[in-house]
Structure 1
């Protein structure tokens, strides 16, 4: 079981939970929430953003599995459902440069806000600007669709993703902790 939330609130909860149960509460992940209101100009690599389709499902299952193994192994059981729900909602996007090279999921999450995530680029396509371009284009698409802002979570242990998102224009808002219980 896990609990996550704003740092002060989640710490208060897990400390109270510990006092009541005596069980441990290891910190599983330190996250940061970022917000964007304007996409900053970036160097755009070759390729373009497109919706993921049912034909992409085998690739998406692999990439979502790879992302989950790398970033959040506790969610592996939800991969197929996440891909199928994303395809149905048309919220999965691919950056394609002759072939898919990066993915980002994004959708309107609140009346005036879009949420980005997950974002994944396979090892062989990293450091070429694909994820940056994918997230920037998707963020702009959401803004163009009436969102006043976009937000996403980053793992504080991953300086690359934090740098990429700040380059696009995402600014830190607050931190978020996830604890394992038991």
Structure 2
């Protein structure tokens, strides 16, 4: 459910079946659920498999009613720590530059801005 919510909010590819996404991530340990002391899940942070020494953290999500309590930061820090402990030379993530909350959080836990990226759609109008 959280992956679907994340995809809807951030314009990710909603064609990917959320159950298949979860199964694939769970198969290699690519998703961490952050829980309160009573075991209630409150945030998630995913990670890609290790490729060429890099792991990308994504997605990071906390349901709206639970935001502002540090859950996403804790989950992101843990996934990042585990990636480095597991052999990653670099751990990276993409963030929305217009979101000062996430940008500040990521810098507080050790990330630094490196480059800006843009997505472009290319169409073949000849068809």
TM over 0.5: yes
TM-score for the superposition, normalised by structure 2: 0.85
- Matches of 1:173 and 1:137, distance apart in 2: 21
Cross-structure match for 1:147: 88
Partners of 1:107 and 1:142 within 8 A in 2: no
TM-score for the superposition, normalised by structure 1: 0.61
Richer in helix (by share):
1
**Alpha-carbon offset, residue 174 of structure 1:** 0.9
Q: Tell me whether 1:89 sits opposite 2:28 in the alignment.
A: yes
Map 1:126-137 → 2, pairs under 5 A: 126-137=67-78
- Matches of 1:88 and 1:141, distance apart in 2: 16
Instruction: Give the 3 Å change call, closer, same or farther, for CA 77–138 of structure 1 in structure 2.
Output: same
Map 1:57-96 → 2, pairs under 5 A: 62-73=1-12, 75-80=13-18, 81-96=20-35
Instruction: Give the 3 Å change call, closer, same or farther, for CA 123–91 of structure 1 in structure 2.
Output: same
Number of aligned residues: 120
- Matches of 1:152 and 1:86, distance apart in 2: 17
Partners of 1:102 and 1:120 within 8 A in 2: yes
Partners of 2:33 and 2:42 within 8 A in 1: yes
- Secondary structure of the structure 2 residue equivalent to 1:164: helix
Partners of 2:53 and 2:88 within 8 A in 1: yes
Q: CA RMSD in A?
A: 1.6
Map 1:99-110 → 2, pairs under 5 A: 99-110=40-51
Q: Tell me whether 1:179 sits opposite 2:120 in the alignment.
A: yes
Larger RCO (CA within 8 A; separation ≥ 6): 1
Richer in strand (by share):
1
**Alpha-carbon offset, residue 180 of structure 1:** 3.5
Task: Look at both structures and tell me which one has the larger radius of gyration over its CA atoms.
Answer: 1
Question: Which structure 2 residue ranges, 5 or more long, are not aligned?
Answer: none
